[in-house]
Amino acid sequence: MSQARQPPLALSCPLPISDYPKVTLAHGGGGRLTHQLIEKIFVPCFSNPLLEQRHDGAIFAVPPGRLALTTDSYVVHPLFFPGGDIGSLAVNGTVNDLAMCGARPLYLSAGFIIEEGLEMETLWRVARSMRAAAAAAGVAIVTGDTKVVDKGKGDGLFINTAGVGVLEHERVIAPASVRPGDAVLLSGDLGRHGVTIMAEREGLAFESTIESDCAPLSGVVLALLEAGVEVRCLRDLTRGGLGTTLLEIAEATRLEITIEETQIPVCEEVRGACELLGLDPLYVANEGRFIALVAPESAEQAVAIMRAHAVSAASGRIGTVGAAGAAGTIGRGRAVLKNRLGASRLLDMPSGEQLPRIC
């Protein structure tokens, strides 16, 4: 689905739906108003032949290959933030989960849970944003659902997306494929999404200079796979950030993963904000960053391909997977951060909640 094929959309919510400036419980009742909401907002925004079947589901043929299915709900607060909104996040987040499975994202579903009283213009703005994000990522939103909950029983808008993608290769991209000696590549600087949300929420002064890194990662991942890079494992660095992700892989593989602090880019504004807020950029959520664990002989080629894509222009190698049975890894893996002085510390998972409702 290319952007060019889509008709232009009005900036404001179309009539007659804007006779209702706010969403009412009746818009979720399955009757006339539900139909109007679907016909006037979702159908024009997500416009595609599958959605226009107006069935209980979408029916399609898929190209040969294994399939991936993934889902995420999005409850980010606030709904709009520099660099994105809940709509672009809901599309890119699920596109990225499919990409991390090594799949080409094809089709998305969208489930809306709306709190009674949401401004209709807000819903229109979010749906427009989803349309643009879907076009940019090359996916179609083919089926959906709308529920309305009474005032005080939701928080404006929650969105669930599920996605189906196809694997056009035979690789097993998973922790089980990781081998000692693999290179750990990072696609860019850390912490932009999490710090942007915190800044918006707290009204902090640095908010004007940082934007969320929210972006689709399927283009660069498919390029790596098509080039024949020996990709072993992929993970986007959302909730929990780089630290938690590395530890998850280390624990699943029972290997030791060592990364070099000096190789991990964090921009000045994010670093400053994290100091102010008492956060560690290693654990702050990103929405457009990923790590690729690749065979050592593929590392250089992989970094070159990643740098050729705008979403991962600042890619580099940040570490290496160590041998099994390294000191302290008996029975379980570990992730080690080497700082600029050469000292090492073990990474742990955060036990509390650093940043609620970040995505």
Q: What is the 3-state secondary structure (H, E, C) of 102-122?
A: CCEEEEEEEEEEEECCCEHHH
143 closest CA partner among 198, 186, 106: 106
Among the listed residues 6, 18, 34, 177, the single contact to a second copy using CB under 8 A? 34
Question: Shortest gap between Cβ of 230 and a second copy (angstroms)?
Answer: 18
Please report how close the Cβ of residue 342 comes to a second copy at its closest, in angstroms.
28
The window from 94-102, 179-187, 217-225, 321-329 that contacts a second copy (CB under 8 A) reads 94-102
Q: Is 158 in the site for a second copy (CB under 8 A)?
A: yes
Query: Binder to a second copy among 16, 63, 342, 356 (CB under 8 A)?
Result: 356
Compute the least distance from the CB of residue 262 to a second copy, in Å.
25
Contact in structure between 20 and 120 (CB atoms under 8 Å): yes
Identify the burial level of 120 via C-beta atoms within 10 angstroms of its C-beta, where 0-12 means exposed, 13-18 middle and 19 or more buried.
buried
Q: Does 29 bind a second copy (CB under 8 A)?
A: yes
By CB under 8 A, residue 32 contacts a second copy:
yes
Distance in Å, CB of 208 to a second copy, minimum = 27
Cα-trace Rg, the chain = 21
Residue 3: burial class (beta carbons within 10 Å; 0-12, 13-18, 19+): exposed
Q: Which is nearer to a second copy, 153 or 345 (CB)?
A: 153
CB 74 within 8 A of CB 86: yes
Q: What minimum distance in Å lies between the beta carbon of 319 and a second copy?
A: 21
Number of residues in contact with a second copy under rule CB under 8 A = 80
CB of 268 to a second copy, least distance (A): 26
31 contributes a contact to a second copy by CB under 8 A: yes
95-154: contacts with a second copy (CB under 8 A) = 96-98, 100-101, 103, 107, 109-113, 142-145, 147-150, 152-154
Q: Among 345, 343, 255, which Cα is nearest to 293's?
A: 255
Min CB(32)–a second copy separation in Å: 4
Contacts (CB under 8 A) with a second copy, residues 216-235:
235
In the region spanning residues 45 to 74, those forming contacts with a second copy, defined by CB under 8 A, are: 53-62, 66-74
How far apart, in whole angstroms, are the C-alpha atoms of residue 50 and residue 307? 35
The yes or no reply on residue 174 touching a second copy (CB under 8 A) is: yes
Does position 350 bind a second copy by CB under 8 A?
A: yes
The answer to whether the beta carbons of residues 253 and 333 sit under 8 Å apart is yes
246: nearest Cα among 276, 289, 275, 203:
289
Report d(CA 191, CA 195) in Å as an integer.
Answer: 6
Looking at 160, 196, 312, 315, which residue binds a second copy (CB under 8 A)?
A: 160
Q: Is the N-terminal amide bond of 78 cis, ω within 30° of 0?
A: yes
Contact in structure between 299 and 317 (CB atoms under 8 Å):
yes
- CB nearer to a second copy: give 216 or 260: 216
Binding of a second copy at residue 276 (CB under 8 A)? no
